[in-house]
Amino acid sequence: MSQPDRVLPPYDFATPSALPISERIAQAVSAARRHHKAAGYTRAVAGLPPIATRGASVAELAEIETEVGWPLPLEYSDFLRVHRYLVLDDGLVIFGLDHEGVSLGRPWASEKHLQGESCLVIGQCWNYADGDQLLVLKGQDRVMVYLHEYPRLEEFAPSFSLALWRLCHQGEHELE
């Protein structure tokens, strides 16, 4: 059986690209909250809220950077300063920091996704198959999705804030 040329459908980033990064993040989080309210999704795993509103401290961000071995992408750091993580739905998660001692996933460095290149795994994106992961290649801003069934990477968004926007807005009519 042959593989498709591209699994991810195209996505129009015109609307969010016209916004400042902080506004993209705020509107994406608002869309996630609307989805949670419409779906009655008030608690994620272990009874945690789906969006942690207490952000990461400078020390916590430095700890993650030490663990992964390089600076976090700036937009991802901006998000973590306000929200420790975000769970949109089962399998749609932006990893971050623990909440009250419980973790829903922490970003981690990997060299297995693309041989010879380091990447930072920042979340799950199970829109296409269980186990697909969002990641950023070391030194880049683009967010890729690792499609484990194929296995390969495809671009999800040009930056973290646009990836968050896409995650929270794509298929809104299907999610709500």
Distances (CA, A) of 7 to 21, 85, 153, 154, 169: 27, 26, 10, 8, 18
Query: How sure is the predictor about 92, in pLDDT bands with cuts at 50, 70 and 90?
Result: confident
CA distance 25 to 29: 6
Question: Is 6 inside a domain boundary?
Answer: no
Q: So what's the pLDDT on residue 3? A: 60
Q: So what's the pLDDT on residue 99? A: 76
Question: Is 41 inside a domain boundary?
Answer: yes
Report the 10 Å Cβ neighbour count for 43. Answer: 11
Question: Is 5 inside a domain boundary?
Answer: no
For residue 86, give the nearest of 64, 58, 56, 128 by alpha carbon: 56
CB 24 within 8 A of CB 163: no
Write the burial class of residue 20 (CB in 10 Å: 0-12 exposed, 13-18 middle, 19+ buried). Answer: exposed
How many CA atoms are closer than 13 Å to the CA of 156, on its beta-carbon side? 32
Q: How many domains does the chain have?
A: 1
Question: Is 9 inside a domain boundary?
Answer: no
111 or 144, higher pLDDT: 144
Which range marks the domain in which residue 125 is found?
Answer: 18-175
Question: Is 8 inside a domain boundary?
Answer: no
Query: Residue 77: CB partners within 8 Å, gap ≥ 6?
Result: 61
Q: In the predicted model, is pLDDT for residue 174 greater than 50?
A: no
As a whole-number percent, the residues of the chain with pLDDT over 70 amount to 90
For residue 115, give the nearest of 152, 66, 74, 73 by alpha carbon: 152
**Torsion region of 105: left, alpha or beta (phi above 0 gives left; psi -120 to 50 gives alpha):** left
CA distance 54 to 79: 11
Name the average pLDDT for the chain.
86
Query: How sure is the predictor about 144, in pLDDT bands with cuts at 50, 70 and 90?
Result: very high
CATH number at residue 171: 3.40.1580.10
Distance of alpha carbon 39 from the chain centroid: 20
Question: Is 111 inside a domain boundary?
Answer: yes
Q: So what's the pLDDT on residue 130? A: 78
Question: Is 79 inside a domain boundary?
Answer: yes
Question: Is 1 inside a domain boundary?
Answer: no
Which pair of structure tokens corresponds to residue 57? 């401290």
With H, G, I as helix, E, B as strand and everything else as coil, classify residue 4.
Answer: coil
pLDDT per residue over 52-64, tens digit each? 878 999 999 999 9
